[in-house]
Structure 1
Amino acid sequence: MHKIEAAIRKSETLHDAEIRFAVEGSLDLKELWQDKSSFDRAVEVFAQLGVWDTEQNNGVLIYLLLADRKIEIIADRGVDRKVAAKEWQRICRAMETLFRKNEFEAGVLAGIDAISKLLVELYPAGKDNENELANEPVVL
């Protein structure tokens, strides 16, 4: 978890966007009964963590549901308008490839790196590069 936090912190020195990472072991019984998808849960976590609450609407959440080995990337509207869904899917698939090899840390770090490269192009760091959201991973 410390390496993930450090990777996010380093990434955010290169761009003006914000990255959050959240991992959840499994959905609870009520959510499973309601047939909640990992995407639906990721949208809830996006809201709960306030990833939408950045000045340029450029927050990105990486959500990992361990039980299903599902990864969702949810981007705020400022980023979402500029990045095609297929790009987020490409990053998720690359992470999943590493997860299948039981390289979870490497998978998460590769995802942060890939997202960072996109964000550097879209939101290069300015002189007032304020850290608007916490960098610590969240365990739900």
Structure 2
Amino acid sequence: MSAINLFTAEEQQRIIQAIRSAELETSGEIRVHLELHCPTPDVLDRAVQVFHHLGMEKTAQRNGVLFYLATEDHKFAVIGDAGIDRVVPKDFWETTKNIMRENFRQSRFTDGFCLGIERAGQQLRQYFPRLANDSNELSDEISH
């Protein structure tokens, strides 16, 4: 069993399309990572480990955003790299998680991810508009 099995192929494509849409107007990068279990006591610690494992700190403007979910443990985190953390409102990540959490509580995981990704994309567009020479620095696929 894999955490990706929480989502149908169609739902996975909706999440990937949300990432692609959010990245259309920004140089920022968004990733989604799923695991069955969070191997650390603190979900934020695990999200940071995954962030580095995926090489997200290597983006040119340090503007990557990771959405992490441990499906069996019911734990999730949303973290941004140093570049975006400096510019978004102080409560941005927490309010984004609250929107997602409300959907997750109703078993609407795909909707929760899509809304969180859309919200992150809005902030990325505002602070990191797409550059003329922009390239997709990180995969849009869901990692697991």
Question: Same-fold call, TM > 0.5?
Answer: yes
Q: Which runs of 5+ in 1 are unaligned?
A: none
Does residue 11 (structure 1) correspond to residue 16 (structure 2)? The answer is no
* Partner Cα separation in structure 1 for residue 73 and residue 87 of structure 2: 29
Say if 2:34 and 2:143, in contact at 8 Å, map to a contact too: yes
TM-fit CA distance, 1:84 = 3.5
Instruction: State the percentage of identical aligned residues.
Output: 35
* Partner Cα separation in structure 2 for residue 23 and residue 47 of structure 1: 15
1:89-108 pair list within 5 angstroms = 89-108=94-113
2:94 is aligned with what amino acid?
Q
2:92 is aligned with what amino acid?
E
Partner of 1:88 in structure 2?
93
Partner of 1:122 in structure 2?
127
Residue of 40, 56, 75 corresponding to 2:45: 40
Partner of 1:58 in structure 2?
63
Inter-CA distance 70–84: structure 2 relative to 1 (3 Å threshold): farther
> For 2:38, what is the secondary structure of its paired residue?
coil
Query: TM-score, normalised to structure 2's length?
Result: 0.87
Cα deviation 1:7-34 (Å, max 9, x = unaligned): 1112111111100111111134xx4xxx
Residue of 27, 39, 64 corresponding to 2:38: 27
Say if 1:92 and 1:111, in contact at 8 Å, map to a contact too: yes
| Superposed CA RMSD | 1.2
> For 2:87, what is the secondary structure of its paired residue?
coil
* Partner Cα separation in structure 2 for residue 37 and residue 85 of structure 1: 21
Cα deviation 1:39-59 (Å, max 9, x = unaligned): 111010001001111011111
Partner of 1:113 in structure 2?
118
> For 2:91, what is the secondary structure of its paired residue?
helix
Say if 1:52 and 1:76, in contact at 8 Å, map to a contact too: yes
1:130 is aligned with what amino acid?
S
